Amino acid sequence: MQILLTRRLHDFAMKELQKRYKIVVHDGKIPMPKKILIEKIKNVDGLICFPYDTIDRKIIDSAKNLQVISTYSVGYDHIDLDAAKRKNIKIGYTPDVLTGATADLTIGLILDLMRRITEGDRLIRAGGWRQIFGPHDYVGVDLEGKTLGILGMGRIGQAVVKRAKGFGLSIQYHTRTRLPKSQERKLGIKYVRFNDLLKNSDILSIHTPYRKETHHIMNLKTMKKMKKSAILINTARGKIINEKDLVRALEAKIIAGAALDVFEKEPIGKNHKLTRMQNVVLAPHIGSSSAETRAKMAQITIQNLILGLEKKKMIYSV
């Protein structure tokens, strides 16, 4: 059997794959250009891809033998599920193992923005540190007693709750389907309507998948319902927020700040408007990016592929 990887994985994973299959690895421009992908995928049985690879209908239709797509991510919004289903192609993904790392980053971004950590770092590096310990110098805000609103209370949302409790945050959430009351009690969270979540949150953190219904769910209209002092955190997917509207909301002080790990189009360049704003913290899509987590993701990605090609139950399938 032949498999295609749109980039190399860890050595242990490559060795495991090489024992079993003929391997084609793209080692050129990232993401793999569509034209090359269409050409290379023609005869392969399995594909390992990444969240920035758009696996659309045209690509899936050009694959004559494809049985399994295994993505190195929990998000699968980059894969045309209908096109895959029509051709009976199985899809593997990597939930759970990256939950903790992404929740850690979320808390890191909240702390960073509220206590102005990277803003201070930028100030020092630019030689701008003038005042020492003045009562109003570089002041941020306390986390204790603030309301954290979580949109999307799945694996990562719940892992954020567990961490946030330690900082004394009170937590409200919204999802389409309310969690059982016993689980709400256990987590110590309150279910509210989306509009109330917008109104009540001092910190609003996004943890939904990207889908048609979540496209630009955060826009000027929804941001106008937030507190002027509120901050918006996004470690989910860029297109959940209308980025142009976010820039306008920050410029017009409709909200107080934003910390983002994901963007509408990645990577963003140094001239992006968000890079010029002091009340913004930016991260280069590193939610799952700890050494341990990335290795676990590689292990699951190859296991999903191997099991799928052996026509066995994958560890995690969509």
Which residue ranges make up the site for ligand NAP (CB under 6 A)?
74-75, 95, 98-99, 102, 151-157, 174-177, 207-210, 213-214, 235-237, 261-262, 285, 287-288
**Closest distance of CB 155 from ligand NAP, Å:** 4
Nearer to ligand NAP, 75 or 140 (CB): 75
C-alpha 216/C-alpha 264 separation (Å) is: 10
Q: Where are the alpha helices (DSSP H) in the chain?
A: 11-20, 34-41, 57-62, 81-86, 99-115, 117-125, 155-165, 181-187, 194-200, 220-224, 243-251, 291-309
Catalytic residue from among 174, 237, 243, 294: 237
Nearer to ligand NAP, 16 or 53 (CB): 53
3-state helix, strand, coil in the chain (%, to 5): 40, 15, 45
Q: Is 122 a catalytic residue?
A: no
Helix axes 291-309, 99-115, angle to 10 degrees: 150
Q: Is 144 a catalytic residue?
A: no
C-alpha 275/C-alpha 272 separation (Å) is: 6
**Closest distance of CB 226 from ligand NAP, Å:** 16
Nearer to ligand NAP, 63 or 156 (CB): 156
C-alpha 107/C-alpha 124 separation (Å) is: 23
Residue with nearest beta carbon to ligand NAP:
154
Nearer to ligand NAP, 45 or 77 (CB): 77
Nearer to ligand NAP, 46 or 95 (CB): 95
C-alpha 44/C-alpha 314 separation (Å) is: 19
Catalytic residue from among 266, 276, 292, 310: 266
**Closest distance of CB 241 from ligand NAP, Å:** 13
**Closest distance of CB 260 from ligand NAP, Å:** 9
C-alpha 281/C-alpha 288 separation (Å) is: 17
The answer to whether 71 touches 92, Cβ cutoff 8 Å, is yes
**Closest distance of CB 110 from ligand NAP, Å:** 14
Q: Is 266 a catalytic residue?
A: yes
Q: Catalytic positions, please? A: 237, 266, 285
